[in-house]
Amino acid sequence: MKQRLDFRQRGVALLTVLMIVALVAVIAVAMSGRLQLQLQRQQNLQQQEQAFWYGMAAEAFAKVLLRRSLQDQDTVHLGQDWAQQGASFVVDNGQIAGEIKDLHSCFNLNVLQQQPERSQSGRIQPTLAQRSFQRLLEQVAPELSMPAEYLTARISDWVDTDSLLNTAGGAEQDDYAGLQFPYYTANSLMVAESELRLILDLTPADYQLLLPYICVIPQNTNFKINVNTLTEESAVILAALLPELSQEQAQEVILSRPEEGFTDIDSFLQHSVLAGLTISDEVKAVLSVKSEYFKLQATTAYLESGFRLTVIFKREENDAIKVLARRFGGQG
């Protein structure tokens, strides 16, 4: 009887030991899994951090490149080093790529903040910027989901400082408050092109149509177009500014531009295509051969991590290059 009891006790002890060993094994496996997860997370953070610093290196390089390219230059044109497209550099375990764009070769949406005037009869007179933007919409986005004058009015209402409708087709606080998911209008200048997606009834397809031609210069409402940095694709902006000029004629002017650009606006206006046009002083004031604002779009890769950086630069009077804004990720 005693031997049988000892045998049972030994069996219970063995089962207890096996259970303890199994429990320790489960805990060890769980700890090992957590440790591997933590190591992978730390590795990902280190890779992302390195990709970030590659992006900051791209910003520093762009500042130097802009300063060297523009120092003591009277004009800004696409023949300068800063305008080289498709720049890419191989670095340790990664790559840095980027391009610099002149923000005076696209339509700055913030210029639509300028308020229209009323004639003596009480009729609203759109500003030059509003008229130009409407013509631009009609030429590059004929399939827009709303009339061009409506989108022009809604952007103007978005960036102005009040909550009053300026023209028919506009949209203000009450229109956005009535949405299924309501939100406030900015009633201030835009900070990025992506803000356009918040405009009432604007579709993703509309946004993609406009993206190649628009830009946003932070805290700037000056309407200025550099005729030396327009491309064949963006020449339509010139046609929108000059109603008598067709898109094909605008492209002809840009394609026949001197390699180092026009030396001044008078030489630009002497182009054979423009010779017969009546160009007002108001329009001439918009045209320029100089630029102050530039945008860097840089993408970096390090091992399995990637990073995207958008930087807005301003050229100061002493040719110093100042960083106005940075955005990480997104579409810039």
pTM of the entire predicted model: 0.85
Mean pLDDT computed over 68-97? 91
Give the CATH number of the domain where residue 71 resides. Answer: 3.30.1300.30
Query: Is residue 242 in a domain?
Result: no
Q: What is the mean pLDDT of the chain?
A: 89
| pLDDT at site 332 | 46
5 to 2, 8, 9, 16, 120: CA distances (angstroms)? 5, 5, 6, 16, 114
Query: Is residue 310 in a domain?
Result: yes
CB atoms within 10 A of CB 277: 14
| pLDDT at site 118 | 66
93 and 142 inside one domain: no
Which residue segment(s) compose the domain that 206 sits in? 129-214
Cβ pair 116, 126 in contact under 8 A? yes
Mean pLDDT computed over 146-172? 91
10 and 99 inside one domain: yes
Mean pLDDT computed over 229-250? 95
Using pLDDT thresholds of 50, 70 and 90, give the confidence band for residue 32.
Answer: confident
Q: Which of 146, 181, 214 is the last residue of a domain?
A: 214
Query: Is residue 249 in a domain?
Result: no
Q: How many folded domains does the chain comprise?
A: 2
| pLDDT at site 7 | 61
CB atoms within 10 A of CB 62: 25
93 and 149 inside one domain: no
pLDDT at residue 331 tops 60 = no
Mean pLDDT computed over 69-81? 94
Q: Which of the residue ranges 61-65, 88-92, 206-210 would you say has the lowest mean pLDDT?
A: 88-92
Mean pLDDT computed over 280-290? 96
Mean pLDDT computed over 147-167? 91
pLDDT at residue 109 tops 70 = yes
The more confident residue out of 217 and 35 is 217
Query: Is residue 156 in a domain?
Result: yes
206 to 147, 156, 199: CA distances (angstroms)? 12, 17, 11
Using pLDDT thresholds of 50, 70 and 90, give the confidence band for residue 34.
Answer: confident
Q: Which of 153, 186, 214 is the last residue of a domain?
A: 214
89 and 182 inside one domain: no
Q: What is the percentage of the chain residues whose pLDDT exceeds 90?
A: 68
The more confident residue out of 195 and 115 is 195
Query: By three-state DSSP, how is residue 44 classified?
Result: helix
| pLDDT at site 123 | 72
Mean pLDDT computed over 39-65? 88
Give the CATH number of the domain where residue 199 resides. Answer: 1.10.40.60
| pLDDT at site 166 | 78
98 and 19 inside one domain: yes
Q: Which of 190, 214, 238 is the last residue of a domain?
A: 214
CB atoms within 10 A of CB 174: 11
Query: Is residue 47 in a domain?
Result: yes
Q: Max Cα separation, the chain? A: 123
88 and 138 inside one domain: no
| pLDDT at site 175 | 92
Query: Is residue 114 in a domain?
Result: no
134 and 87 inside one domain: no
